[in-house]
Amino acid sequence: MILSVVKVVVFSVYAFLGLQSNEAKIVYTKGVVAPAVLLFGDSFVDQGNNNYVTNAGKANYPPYGKDFPGEISTGRWSNGKSLADGFANALGVKEYVPAYLDPSIQVKDLVTGVSFASGSTGYDPDTAKENKALSLETQLDMFKQYIKKLKMNIGEVVTNNVITNSVCLLLGGSNDIQIKFFGIPYKRRQNDVRVYAKTLVTFALSYVQELHKLGARRIAVFGAPPLGCFPEQRTVGGGPLRKCVDNLNAAFQWYNDILKRELQNLSSVFPESKFAYVDFYNPVLSVMENHRNYGFEVIDKGCCGTGLMEVSTLCNKLTPICDNRTKFFFWDGYHFTEKGCNIIVNHTIADLINGLF
């Protein structure tokens, strides 16, 4: 039986106190009740859907999953739990979020939420097409299938309650700007990055409204992170000293500013719904700038291999990994370690809850 969502939300004081020292346990937000967590977007919350996609980037082989129970390489882009697991845990829903395409998924898993996300995708349909990943349109189609499955198994009334009161998280934009704009010279000539940022926001808002049409009423959209400071981008565009790539970060800041403003406008159009902008940029940058406060010793390299470039197939069973993953913020050149994910969740969960409850 699905628990009804309480109308009065009692926030855990710990959610607002943040973390001290190098503590990296998930802060459970007591009193916040949601029946399920549903995730859409890219590799930050892909729980293994790309395992079932031809030619898309994958993470279903060692050393991915090195610290996951049983050392299973599930397809999560980390050494252990992901951001998706962290948010589900923080909201008190469940410990592990399964991939929707996992053939072993059961009804009890569906009821409390799944991830539809796909690594290498983006808001721009061309990004998914070029990377052979699941587009956001495809993820919306999967969501429709999900709703039908729920209705068949738990009935229409309970299903509607689940969808209406679930927390929907949407993470995207990173691949679009990094690959589609900065990675392709002709794009730079044809588009001003600010114009492209507006285009991406238009795509994002379209997906949000489609989720709303399907019954979702608590939707959080994450801004883009400071990708220019991630190991891979430092190596590609940071020069001999591997500094942060400022023009890439500036593009994400423009995108984030537009996204935040337009989400606020959307909230006025649908006052019965909750649309939250979650700052992904500043929390990640803050952790990097104050990394020693969290016990991190390395923030400019990933744990896998040299840490300079390795992502997906370059991070494989023959690639050496660091001995102590808790000292690294990044697992590979693009994604966080489990500890890194947990700390980011704790830094962003208050924004998410304030915006949705």
Integer Cα distance of 320 and 303 in angstroms: 9
Nearest to 354 by CA among 5, 24, 16: 16
CB 269 within 8 A of CB 200: no
pLDDT at 1: 39
Catalytic residue, from 212, 291, 335, 347: name it: 335
332 a catalytic residue: yes
- Catalytic residue check, 46: no
Q: Quote the pLDDT of residue 297.
A: 98
Convert the pLDDT of each residue in 107-160 to its tens digit: 999 999 999 999 999 999 999 999 999 999 999 999 999 999 999 999 999 999
Mean pLDDT of 50-67: 95
pLDDT, average across residues 323-341: 98
3-state secondary structure of 227: helix
Residues in contact with 309: Cβ distance below 8 Å, sequence separation at least 6, in sequence order: 231, 232, 235, 236, 333
Percent helix, strand and coil across the chain, each rounded to 5?
45, 10, 45
Supply the pTM of this predicted model: 0.92
Distances (CA, A) of 148 to 38, 90, 219, 272, 320: 15, 28, 20, 24, 44
Residue 95's contacts (CB-CB under 8 Å, 6 or more residues apart) are 85, 88, 89
Pick the catalytic residue from 42, 312, 332, 347. 332
- What is the SS3 assignment for 271? coil
For residues 328-355, average pLDDT:
97
Whole-number pLDDT of residue 116: 98
CB 219 within 8 A of CB 168: yes
Q: Among the options 12, 42, 43, 118, which is catalytic?
A: 43
pLDDT in tens, 230-280: 999 999 999 999 999 999 999 999 999 999 999 999 988 999 999 999 999
Report pLDDT for 180. Answer: 73
pLDDT 10s digits, 211-232? 999 999 999 999 999 999 999 9
Beta bridge mates, 219: 168, 275
Q: Rounded to whole angstroms, how far apart are CA atoms 229 and 28?
A: 29
Q: How many helices (H) and strands (E) does the chain have?
A: 13, 6
Q: Read off the tokens for 290.
A: 């104050």
Residue type for position 209: Q
pLDDT at residue 20 tops 60: no
**Confidence band for 186, pLDDT divided at 50, 70 and 90:** low
Give catalytic status of residue 335 as yes or no.
Answer: yes
Q: 198 is written with which tokens?
A: 């507006």
Q: How confident is the model at residue 21 (pLDDT cuts 50, 70, 90)?
A: very low
pLDDT of 97 strictly over 70: yes
pLDDT at 190 over 70: no
Superfamily covering domain 30-356: SGNH hydrolase (3.40.50.1110)
Six-digit token string for 289: 């700038």
